[in-house]
Structure 1
Amino acid sequence: MDPNSNGIEDRRSMSFGRTSSIGSSVRRRSFSQSGRILTHADDDIESENVSEAGDIGDRALHSRRNSLSGSLRLDNNLPENGSVFPIGEDTFRQELRSHDPESLNAASTTSRLPEENQSPLPTDALFQKPDEIQDDQKPLPLWMEYASSLIHLAVFGILGVLTRYLLQKLFGPRIAYLTSDGTVLYLDLPSNMVGSFLMGWFGVVFKGDISRFSDYLAIGLSTGYLGSLTTFSGWNQKMLDLSIDGKWHLSFLGFMLGLFLSAYSIIFGVETAKGFRWLTRRPKTESGDNSKTRNRWRVDTYKRHLASILMMLLLLGLLWAVSGTLLKEEYDDGGSEPQLWLACIVGPLGVWIRWFLARLNGRGLGKAGSLKWVPFGTLIANVSACCVMAALATTKKAVNSKNCDTITTGIQFGLMGCLSTVSTFMAEFNAMRESNHPWRAYAYAISTMVISFVLGILIYDVPVWAKGYK
């Protein structure tokens, strides 16, 4: 035997050991990187689901133009081939199975889109020449899509203001006497509960069904009507009115009770809507007839869109004309009626601002998109409305005149009431609560309430205490 053979074998063993350790290290790094990418992808999907549960504003118009519905948007740091498996899917699954076999199902779920979210390309459009496409099949100009969205939001926003006013009167001291100022059962509590319940129906369960007939109708109902029917700024202001008299415990109870009742209202709405859908589900043999009916009534052609815009524009003009006439006639009398008509006039502006702010939902902060799970659009709308509401309340106490009361209260009830929302807030809260990170729901809710209340104290309570306003 060669005396140097042992040395050669030792060197080979050492070389093989180094190669194995390097390969093992590479595999560990690849597995760790893949796990981080999957975790990041899951978090992005959850953040997008939360934002879509509430509102994404005019991003919906651009997404319909620039991307397929239901596409999965992952992080920009993915490999150029777009795969979430940088070491190859088969290799990754072997590594994943060796470390944690139970995680393989989660990886499969993340790597593939569910069937209901896949949107195959329309083959007719691929093989059809542009000059062969009928005029009714062409997409609407972007300005017309914006016009249709804004008009629907304005009309349904005014209807939401009127409904909120009626619920205040119905449950307030004049009729049912269940709600009143100076108690934890504040005047806007019934409208917040009803709006959250209806959001479970028309903003969560049946939102897709409504969109099949008209995307703008879905926007008008969820963002316009239900967003204006509920108000976060009115809720916050009532708690500030309690705190200014030293009733801090009632303010705390008012926030907790309002959150509890609104949260369970949307849960009850979702569950009853699911039950109603199950009861009204038709046999599969009638699916063809159902699709024909949907296509017959769907607003999907240029002429139908134009007719819908004109009809809603006429309705908006009528609502504004009636509100302006009644405001002019009753302005000198004061009271709640002229305040309501002024609210109907300025309310749509609050809906429009909230809709544009909603584009920030699901985007996160900075280029890295950190904190994507926070719906910053809704948060900014609610907090800013509360601050302006508190400033108007301070102005009303400082001026203390009938005309000032009419103007400030009308702006509070209309513009600020429509800018802030509880229904969207609860839809986002419920989506977070049902996600893999339920703590986010309570962090989001508590942060919104604490920030709004603290800023309200600085804007409203402190000046009133300092000046001695009554």
Structure 2
Amino acid sequence: MNTALTYLNIAVFAMAGAIAREGIEHLTLFHGSFTESGLVWANFGGCIVMGWVNATNMFDNVAKERGVTKKQLPLFLGIGTGFCGSLTSFSTLMLEAFLYGANQNDSKLGYPNAGYGVQSVMSIGLINFGLSFVGLKVGHHLADLIPLPALSSKVERLLSSLIAVASVALFCIFIIFAGLWKSWRWWTYLGLFGIPGALLRWQLSKLNGKLPVGTFSANILACIVLAVCVLLQRGKMHSSSTQLVHSFLQCQILDGIMNGFCGCLSTVSTFVNEMYAMNYKRAYVYGFATCFVGFSIMVVIVGSFAWTQSLVSPVC
């Protein structure tokens, strides 16, 4: 029973997080914006919620009554692993850093020379991770500033059960909308592909010990899948202008995998929360190693194709 509730809570919160991330990116991306991407706001917001859910005392009584830790409660996992982990995205951040660094966006930027791309990569990393750490602390402060009453075991079970029912209902609705209304597929594919991404990340998190091997594996795997999908969506045939994927539906499915599955499989909120809990030496090593491997994957997979064949705008 508890396992089923956990799966369903993570699933519905993952759908909410993925859609919220995409919505925030659309709302905060506009001409003249200080930042050229809305992802920074999604990562910032996800880390605020992550900081709050880890610092709040709402789940303490439930954990004591059941003789478990907070991280074993379905509702806690839904908010932390499902929503926060899906609202933030490490793989998308690495792709964004590469595209700006290598000047491979749809609209080329007027860098004085290619070396200025290095500054873009550094600014994207510093702004995103800097604000993510700030967001985590803001979440801690919010938990202290606005203390909420502790939940009882019965209330937590009731809430997680209601959310589980909503998860099944939403899953069915999303499938129906994806099949009947083409205009909704952008969002329905995002939510549907986000579920397996978040659940796989949760399963991989069980590998975490003294070193967060599970989180590292999830972030790197997401980077690999995302890089391959970018090639399929934006690549073209050898010595021709024909795209590898020229069907609008196929392009939408790839977009669902990229922003849904990969976006929810990778996470910035958990990554930042883990570094915050480490001593500073280990945190720097873990953070640098993850970013180095993730960015290197983008350079090797996407870069090698972009610099030999070039990338084009996707059909969708």
1:167 aligns with 2:18: no
- Is the contact between residue 204 and residue 214 of structure 2 (CA under 8 Å) also seen in structure 1? yes
- Is the contact between residue 186 and residue 235 of structure 1 (CA under 8 Å) also seen in structure 2? no
- CA drift at 1:193: 0.1
* 1:411 counterpart residue number: 257
* 1:448 counterpart residue number: 290
1:205 aligns with 2:205: no
Q: Which residue of 383, 393, 398 corresponds with 2:230?
A: 393
Specify the SS of the correspondent of 1:388.
helix
* 2:108 counterpart residue number: none
- Is the contact between residue 10 and residue 81 of structure 2 (CA under 8 Å) also seen in structure 1? yes
* 1:232 counterpart residue number: 90
- Is the contact between residue 357 and residue 377 of structure 1 (CA under 8 Å) also seen in structure 2? yes
* 1:342 counterpart residue number: 189
Relative distance call for 1:298 and 1:340 in structure 2 (3 A) is closer
d(CA) in 2 for partners of 1:146, 1:296: 17
- Is the contact between residue 228 and residue 418 of structure 1 (CA under 8 Å) also seen in structure 2? yes
Q: Which runs of 5+ in 2 are unaligned?
A: 104-113, 236-243
- Is the contact between residue 211 and residue 218 of structure 1 (CA under 8 Å) also seen in structure 2? no
d(CA) in 1 for partners of 2:79, 2:174: 21
| Aligned partner letter, 2:93 | W
Using the size of structure 1 for normalisation, the TM-score is: 0.56
- CA drift at 1:469: 2.9
Relative distance call for 1:185 and 1:148 in structure 2 (3 A) is same
| Aligned partner letter, 1:193 | F
Relative distance call for 1:259 and 1:207 in structure 2 (3 A) is farther
Which structure has the bigger radius of gyration?
1
d(CA) in 1 for partners of 2:61, 2:133: 23
- Is the contact between residue 207 and residue 218 of structure 1 (CA under 8 Å) also seen in structure 2? no
- Is the contact between residue 27 and residue 38 of structure 2 (CA under 8 Å) also seen in structure 1? no
- Is the contact between residue 8 and residue 168 of structure 2 (CA under 8 Å) also seen in structure 1? no
d(CA) in 2 for partners of 1:449, 1:151: 31
Relative distance call for 1:330 and 1:210 in structure 2 (3 A) is farther
| Aligned partner letter, 1:196 | C
1:187 aligns with 2:38: yes
* 2:146 counterpart residue number: 276
Relative distance call for 1:328 and 1:296 in structure 2 (3 A) is closer
- Is the contact between residue 210 and residue 218 of structure 1 (CA under 8 Å) also seen in structure 2? no
Relative distance call for 1:428 and 1:324 in structure 2 (3 A) is same
| CA RMSD across the alignment | 2.4
- Is the contact between residue 40 and residue 127 of structure 2 (CA under 8 Å) also seen in structure 1? no
| Aligned partner letter, 2:33 | L
Q: Which residue of 253, 256, 264 corresponds with 2:134?
A: 264
Using the size of structure 2 for normalisation, the TM-score is: 0.82
- Higher normalized contact order (CA 8 Å, seq sep 6+, divided by chain length): 2
d(CA) in 2 for partners of 1:298, 1:219: 12
Relative distance call for 1:296 and 1:217 in structure 2 (3 A) is closer
d(CA) in 2 for partners of 1:248, 1:386: 20
Q: Which runs of 5+ in 1 are unaligned?
A: 1-143, 281-289, 363-371
- CA drift at 1:324: 2.0
Taking the TM superposition and a 5 Å limit, the aligned residue runs for 1:99-138 are none
d(CA) in 2 for partners of 1:166, 1:413: 12
- CA drift at 1:168: 1.4
- CA drift at 1:265: 1.1
* 1:152 counterpart residue number: 9
Specify the SS of the correspondent of 2:146.
helix
1:354 aligns with 2:201: yes
Percent identity over the alignment is 25
- Is the contact between residue 9 and residue 160 of structure 2 (CA under 8 Å) also seen in structure 1? no
Q: Which residue of 216, 221, 243 corresponds with 1:384?
A: 221
* 1:36 counterpart residue number: none
* 1:119 counterpart residue number: none
Specify the SS of the correspondent of 1:467.
coil
